[in-house]
Structure 1
């Protein structure tokens, strides 16, 4: 009875595994390959733009952000500036980013000399990786994060988890302690046997990586999943703050124009940030509010910190220069640091360049499971097809 029940469960899991694989195979391969392309994006972009990311340091002080933006936009229509990246290194250039236009297109960013606002050039590779990123996250479906692409990639991630769990159960050998059974493919086989060995053994190799990718990928797909992770890992007060809708102060109205909001700049927030941080930071990303608020978000990384997770985050009122909030990485609990590191965990960067390389290779292997899975499916259909009797042996009525 127990054996029959076990056989029924495995047969059901096999059907689930096969159907999920056939339905999601192409999307999984697409998402995995685009992720592999982005694995070393930072290193590639830095190498491509090495000539415009630095200038010769000068004795004169660097321009304040608002003056730099004003000089940059003087005499040329570049669109609305949305963010600037500044550095404590006197030889580092300033990166200026622009808001989307009415058609939803974001102009390419610019590297600018911090001393005279001279344009050094646009970052090579930026548009390419931006397109790959939109394909990876949202499948290029209109609306980006607000469109259906986000939910589709989330469903694909759930499907991958189902396939990983069902595949592990189906693959569980009678001699579970045999390392050779788990990790060594039988390359002496051919045809269906070889396809099955490659599919199962290499799938075992990459299973932990795929599971991490899928679980962290869900963070970007579903708000309910993100809220659940925050509730589980963060302190109650942090969790409660994240769950509440973000409120931002309304900007003061210009005198004589009660319905017109006064434009805001970076200088007040930048001055307050420098006073708070001194020389401890390496680079800082200042982002203007997308809505009507006046709080500028500043993300900063300390010297020697390269991971995205290790940033501090400040919100500073652009009009008064008042510090609204400060969230420092060193003050976070282990769970909150884990939440901050979701992106670095997702791409393997938490383990340094070897981790990124391992995750890139694992992602690049996804088409192997597409090919071997389809070949195994076709061979099963061929085996199940009833053999046709030779025509010479047919009798009347057949």
Structure 2
């Protein structure tokens, strides 16, 4: 090692160690919660398999508003916020509710699409909702509008710095040796074993962690999202993407026509049937699953996301915004019309959790996230070992006596 490189490497080691010590616990929490959610859909489907299925019938399925009316007659469940309709005649309809004045959100319910009979609330929903809040916002007040979102985003940026400094620090003399890079030395003990596990396993998961952090920043910072849209999307698509949702903590009108109808919407709750009819016309009555979400503010534009029957990815979907009072289609964003860059942006969540590679990718990303605490433990042990060696290296200096 050259004399020029030695102080640089020492400085990088200090930065790597101190940042790791400060943020190790936070990264461990985010990693474990991310691993827990990796197969959330599959787990919930298994837990609620009987509740999610009904006996297919030749009878007409009820419209969204008819289902909501039957649900209201069955009891006071709360204010409706979203309805998920499924094209499969043997699938139940899922209805979600808005937050109450206290800030809590009631559990969603499955209903029979033929008679509106309540089938029950899905098991596991509240658990995964809590895990998701911990993963994204650390359960801090304000949820997406609070400081937790900025903390996890800043931690992601720091993790990128850790990945880079870690790679530089462990760069071996035989850089072209695959064995040196990827095979841990399990014959070592103590500090040597800790260093080998920390460095080699860190090399294994480095690409996965880099993908996770770069996609995770999409959900933390608006400037990052705006930059990604500018880089990958067409100008008109980027502008539409930034205006598709109201600012956090507020709401805006979707169009001039929507603004004119806001007063009417406040006097009467919004209905879904106009939206549903317009959506079926847009998709030619061919869909696998459709999620209709009411606006959070005083607008009248209902957001409709539609997945085809053979879709296994969250990103492969069409999206519409339809006026609930008139059934007018305000905007239409079809997956087939997206450019490659826009499809990448639409796939951020699927890339973030490895689903873009199918279940093997999800499994690999889950395992990588689950072993995040390993780096916290081995990193701490290495730090304590270095401090102990420094103390032993210091020679005790006795009192000098003249003449000795």
Task: Pick one of 331, 336, 340 that aligns with 1:330.
Answer: 336
Contact 1:93/1:114, CA 8 A, preserved across alignment: yes
Using the size of structure 1 for normalisation, the TM-score is 0.94
Which residue matches 2:249? none
Which residue matches 1:13? 12
Any gaps of 5 or more consecutive residues in structure 2? 247-251
CA drift of 1:10 comes to 1.3
Task: Work out the CA distance in 1 between the residues paired with 2:128 and 2:401.
Answer: 67
Which residue matches 1:25? 24
CA drift of 1:15 comes to 1.0
Contact 2:291/2:304, CA 8 A, preserved across alignment: yes
The change in CA–CA distance for 1:251 and 1:102 in structure 2 (over 3 A counts) is farther
| Greater displacement, 44-53 / 55-64 | 55-64
Pair 1:219 & 2:228 matched: no
Count residues with an aligned counterpart. Answer: 391
Which residue matches 1:318? 324
Pair 1:358 & 2:364 matched: yes
Using the size of structure 2 for normalisation, the TM-score is 0.93
**RMSD of equivalent CA atoms:** 2.0
Pair 1:380 & 2:386 matched: yes
| Greater displacement, 134-143 / 238-247 | 238-247
Which residue matches 1:180? 179
Task: Work out the CA distance in 2 between the residues paired with 1:354 and 1:92.
Answer: 27
Contact 1:251/1:294, CA 8 A, preserved across alignment: no
Task: Work out the CA distance in 2 between the residues paired with 1:387 and 1:311.
Answer: 62
Give the match's secondary structure for 2:322: strand
Task: Work out the CA distance in 2 between the residues paired with 1:213 and 1:121.
Answer: 35
Task: Work out the CA distance in 1 between the residues paired with 2:317 and 2:35.
Answer: 24
The aligned runs of 1:220-369 (5 Å cut-off) are 220-244=219-243, 247-248=253-254, 249-250=258-259, 252=261, 261-369=267-375
Contact 2:92/2:110, CA 8 A, preserved across alignment: yes
Contact 1:252/1:262, CA 8 A, preserved across alignment: no
Task: Work out the CA distance in 2 between the residues paired with 1:228 and 1:259.
Answer: 35
| Greater displacement, 278-287 / 202-211 | 278-287
The change in CA–CA distance for 1:348 and 1:239 in structure 2 (over 3 A counts) is same
CA drift of 1:11 comes to 1.4
For 1:71-109, what per-residue CA distance to the aligned partner results, in whole angstroms no more than 9, with x for missing partners?
Answer: 101152111000000011111110000000000100000
The aligned runs of 1:151-162 (5 Å cut-off) are 151-162=150-161
CA drift of 1:3 comes to 2.6
Task: Work out the CA distance in 2 between the residues paired with 1:64 and 1:280.
Answer: 16
